[in-house]
Structure formats: C-alpha cells, structure tokens
Amino acid sequence: MAVHYATVTWEQLHRDARALAAALVPKMPFKGIVAVTRGGLIPAAIAARELGCRLIETISVVTYDEEEMGKPQIIKSPDAAGDGEGFLIIDDLVDSGVTARFVRERLPKAYFACLYAKPAGKALTDLFITEVPQDTWVLFPWDTAPLFVPPLVSNKKECAE
C-alpha cells in the first residue's frame, strides 16, 4: 500500500503529456488513440492535440469492486480500434499493471504509452515518462484542490512574545 504521495499539478501534467507526445513522434503515424478512461482522457487529449490526431476511441476497465481488487471488466469496448493495429493506447499511469495487461490483451497490436509508471507495471508499457516508487500514490490535479493551510505561528500571539 502506498505510504507517500506525489502531487502532480496541472502544469506538470501538461509538461509530461507534451513530453510523452514528443517521444511518440518517431513512432508515428497512428491511426488513432485509445484513451483508457478515465485517467487517460486528459493525457490523451493533450497528446492528440500535439500529434494532430483526431480519431479518439476509449476503453473503460473496472478493476475494483467495492474496494476489493476484482476481476477486471471492460464496461466500454474500443470497437473502432479492432485488434489495436496502428493505434496508440494512452493511460495516466501503470501501478500493479493489472489494467495495462487487460487492455493489452484486448488490443494486442497497439502501442501502450503512459505518463507515470511504478516498478510492478512498467514492463507492460512501451513508453512512459517518469518512474514513481511503488510505495507512492500519485495525486493527479483532478484528485486535489487547494486548501487553506494555517500559519506556523498563531495570529493570537504577538510576534515579539
């Protein structure tokens, strides 16, 4: 279980998604992108803009069943992508690799790219941008909000005290 957090800001996410797109240019052309919903949607949109790709398909895989890791289930199939030939799959991250393995079984000929990868799942990717330790939980910008943080010294006390 993750014991550390890595907070990713919108700016960092945008930079990393652009870096992913830049690394994908030599792999072009792609017929289209398959975004792994939901986490892959925003990285896929940024990469699609950079790569001039307008055909976007989605695959939705549910791996957790009431907090338990269950058997992965496809609840939305990427029908436009066939067996994945010529397609680029984009997700936000691989952790255990369960989602990536399942998606690859469904789209065996596609190229799999993501922004962040933990050691247990990284071998399932063709490309990732940043490795994250296994014990670290990535907090995406859509997971977080700015919070008031109280000052170190209470304003009831005088500075000179």
Ligand X SMILES: O=P(O)(O)OC[C@H]1O[C@H](OP(=O)(O)OP(=O)(O)O)[C@H](O)[C@@H]1O
Identify the burial level of 115 via C-beta atoms within 10 angstroms of its C-beta, where 0-12 means exposed, 13-18 middle and 19 or more buried.
Answer: buried
Tokens representing residue 32 in the block: 């289209």
Give the whole-angstrom CA distance, residue 71 versus residue 151. 46
State whether residue 64 is helix, strand or coil. strand
97's contact among ligand GUN, ligand X, Mg ion, none, with CB below 5 to 8 A by partner kind, is ligand X
Residue 129 binds ligand X (CB under 6 A): no
Residues making contact with Mg ion (CB under 5 A): 39
Residue 87 binds ligand GUN (CB under 6 A): no
**Does residue 92 have an active-site annotation?**
yes
Residue 128 binds ligand GUN (CB under 6 A): no
**Does residue 95 have an active-site annotation?**
yes
Is 32 flagged in the annotation as binding? no
43's contact among Mg ion, ligand GUN, ligand X, none, with CB below 5 to 8 A by partner kind, is none
Q: How many CA atoms lie within 13 A of 70 on its CB side?
A: 11
Q: Which residue is nearest to ligand GUN (CB)?
A: 95
